[in-house]
Structure 1
């Protein structure tokens, strides 16, 4: 395939002068008073010069570690600051003496160009008010995992290590390419006469109309064996797992119908959330369409999918030719990217794989929105960049996006802390992680398991020149 050539990799760190100015600006945004969130916790809220809100929580017995939390994708209009992944985990962290800080980002949506400087400005404001931390750990969930990894790569001087939870660690270009493929399959196979645009969406109204049209096609297809097989094929091109919500029954290994039924809702969710409305917002930022399927062989993609066996069995059961449908996909008119939009997405939201500080990346195995295979993409980039000794990855046996227990999140944090203290990774195996989780919070589940994700289907990073040829 011949994707456009992006602009050069972004600068890895700001100058001392620029950061001194950022600290000065952050100081001017500090509130006049501190409200007490609890008897032994100082709670601070304020606003940065960018307009982003921030919050800080510092226990009276601060242990010297500050956790910089990057929240996930927010579509607005509400745009609150967050300094922890959830209320239960926040309570445990404060009880254990951690200081917490996080900003809202100045804008909502695919806001990485705001999120990274806003997070670092919030950290500077924290330092000015409470003093220098003995240790600073960046962490984040979902889109916040992308923000955290961007901070880890570009500003390693500002942190000691990082934890990415259910993160978009495959980077922006890879994310949007992988989101295009299932939508392309749905349109081509289930709505072949439709003129639904998959890219270059005019506005949010057009995005919603396109999502509704293809969702209706999926609903109709679900009523026939052939339609269900084709939905499974679309799901396979995104590596949508066969168990992807905690409320779903976990299907048996050969219960193809139950597996597809679980994927059906996830395919509709992908169309309603990411494939159109979020894409349209990202296209506005990028200045055009940042993804493509020119040169993609969908037969080869299916061959590498984690759920290819399910697809072949459902096609066989329906009496439908999988070869014919793959040929139809490969012969359908392709979508080319806007080179400038790819350059923007690559420059702001893709990764070099160059880590200077330790990172632990954790994923649930049943994530449909950000499939666990993103971890394979991260490993690919980090290995190519020669930073693999600094990365460890761990997996939680649960369905859903970011469905971690407080115990599991604290175990990840403590494992990174152990690496920072000793200079060596240890206790990253599931048994050790579960032991740490139980010790941190015996009241919530501990489900770390041995796991090795299949390859990410459309990788793109700045460590592989061939991705950008």
Structure 2
């Protein structure tokens, strides 16, 4: 009895935490701004020690931003799978690939001061963020275990600019002086000044007046006819924004011989010809470059029927990687989902796991 009383007394004198289970871990969210780029870092309660740097897609100039930064749609699926997720809103809007690469690298370094014992860091990007992902792996290979580009615009800046230019001069050829659009065409400063909805409506109206030409243009651009107006208006928006960022038109077509537009001889004879601004051309070549040279695994995955990243665009980066001798580091997963960036949370996690098994 004396021994039992002594034991009871000792237990009663123990500090309170020793009598209870350890406090369960809780999720946490940090946010702030780094050199003009809003950011957030989400850490799940049961963190697996892996960090995902999540790069979002194209954000038109002037779109309002939330404060603090809101999480991308796929964030919760990644958190549920145990990953910590860091993401940046970028220091500029528009086709901000160069800024985004710097912003994401700055955020990665900051995240490592907030997280202890990170086992691996991964880059994962959507749409324009796919280009950010590929560029980040090329420029900072030692920072990442690998990356994933989903519905990614993994094209060098010069290739992208030339593709967008083709869309606009082809529309101008088939639909000159369209009602509701500037008589000077989609490449003009007047078109650049139009609100995006007015531009879209003018393009859609013009396409409806000439279904045969619309079908020809849709087939050449590899876009479904019902998505054609949206694709053309997006191409105009991005090219004009890129020209403003670069200080001039970054692509020209003086020596381009086009094909696939029906009567190619007539098309090449009548299509609008423009010269690139040399400084703007140098900007997209140098600041928005992609080489295909990989030292870390990169997974690409696209959607079925994507009107934004069409098959000809999807083929560009694998060709770059093959020419650079990096094909072994690249894996293209079968297409899933529909439309542009139509991935479920489970598909996003699966693509990330595929990068980890390379």
1:400 aligned partner: 339
Whether contact under 8 Å (2:81, 2:349) holds in the other structure is no
Q: 1:60 to 1:397 in 2, by over 3 A?
A: closer
Distance (Å, rounded) in 2 between the aligned partners of 1:163 and 1:174: 21
Distance (Å, rounded) in 2 between the aligned partners of 1:184 and 1:203: 13
Whether contact under 8 Å (1:199, 1:289) holds in the other structure is no
Distance (Å, rounded) in 1 between the aligned partners of 2:58 and 2:39: 16
SS at match of 1:346: helix
* Match for residue 38 of structure 2 among 21, 40, 53: 53
Residue 189 of structure 1: how far off its partner (Å): 1.7
* Match for residue 55 of structure 2 among 70, 78, 93: 70
Residue 200 of structure 1: how far off its partner (Å): 5.6
Q: 1:65 to 1:98 in 2, by over 3 A?
A: same
Distance (Å, rounded) in 1 between the aligned partners of 2:258 and 2:306: 22
* Match for residue 96 of structure 2 among 111, 120, 123: 111
Instruction: State yes or no: 1:273 paired with 2:234.
Output: yes
Q: 1:182 to 1:77 in 2, by over 3 A?
A: closer
* Match for residue 416 of structure 1 among 343, 349, 355: 355
Whether contact under 8 Å (1:163, 1:413) holds in the other structure is yes
2:266 aligned partner: 328
2:162 aligned partner: 177
Distance (Å, rounded) in 2 between the aligned partners of 1:40 and 1:336: 58
Instruction: State yes or no: 1:295 paired with 2:255.
Output: yes
Deviations 1:231-259 (A, max 9, x none): 1221233221x4xxxxxxxxxxxxxxxxx
Q: 1:397 to 1:126 in 2, by over 3 A?
A: closer
Whether contact under 8 Å (1:215, 1:272) holds in the other structure is no
SS at match of 2:189: coil
Q: 1:346 to 1:331 in 2, by over 3 A?
A: same
Instruction: State yes or no: 1:381 paired with 2:320.
Output: yes
Distance (Å, rounded) in 1 between the aligned partners of 2:305 and 2:347: 16
1:217 aligned partner: 206
Q: 1:203 to 1:120 in 2, by over 3 A?
A: farther
* Match for residue 343 of structure 1 among 278, 282, 289: 282
Residue 387 of structure 1: how far off its partner (Å): 0.5
* Match for residue 167 of structure 1 among 138, 147, 152: 152
* Match for residue 133 of structure 1 among 118, 122, 144: 118
Which residues in structure 2 correspond to 1:28-43 (within 5 Å)?
A: 40-43=26-29
Residue 375 of structure 1: how far off its partner (Å): 2.3
SS at match of 1:366: coil
Distance (Å, rounded) in 2 between the aligned partners of 1:237 and 1:294: 20
SS at match of 1:413: helix
Instruction: State yes or no: 1:370 paired with 2:309.
Output: yes
Distance (Å, rounded) in 1 between the aligned partners of 2:117 and 2:242: 36
2:298 aligned partner: 359
RMSD over aligned Cα, in angstroms?
2.4
Deviations 1:404-428 (A, max 9, x none): 1122211111111122xxxxxxxxx
Distance (Å, rounded) in 2 between the aligned partners of 1:397 and 1:335: 38
Distance (Å, rounded) in 2 between the aligned partners of 1:389 and 1:279: 33
Unmatched 5+ residue regions in structure 1?
Answer: 1-37, 222-226, 243-262, 303-321, 420-469
Instruction: State yes or no: 1:205 paired with 2:193.
Output: yes
Count of matched residue positions in the alignment of Structure 1 and Structure 2 = 328
Distance (Å, rounded) in 1 between the aligned partners of 2:287 and 2:342: 27
Deviations 1:92-141 (A, max 9, x none): 32222211101110111111232111111111111111124110000110
1:313 aligned partner: none
* Match for residue 230 of structure 1 among 185, 210, 213: 213
SS at match of 2:41: strand
Deviates more, 1:390-399 or 1:130-139: 390-399
Distance (Å, rounded) in 1 between the aligned partners of 2:201 and 2:184: 10
Unmatched 5+ residue regions in structure 2?
Answer: 1-23
Q: 1:101 to 1:82 in 2, by over 3 A?
A: farther
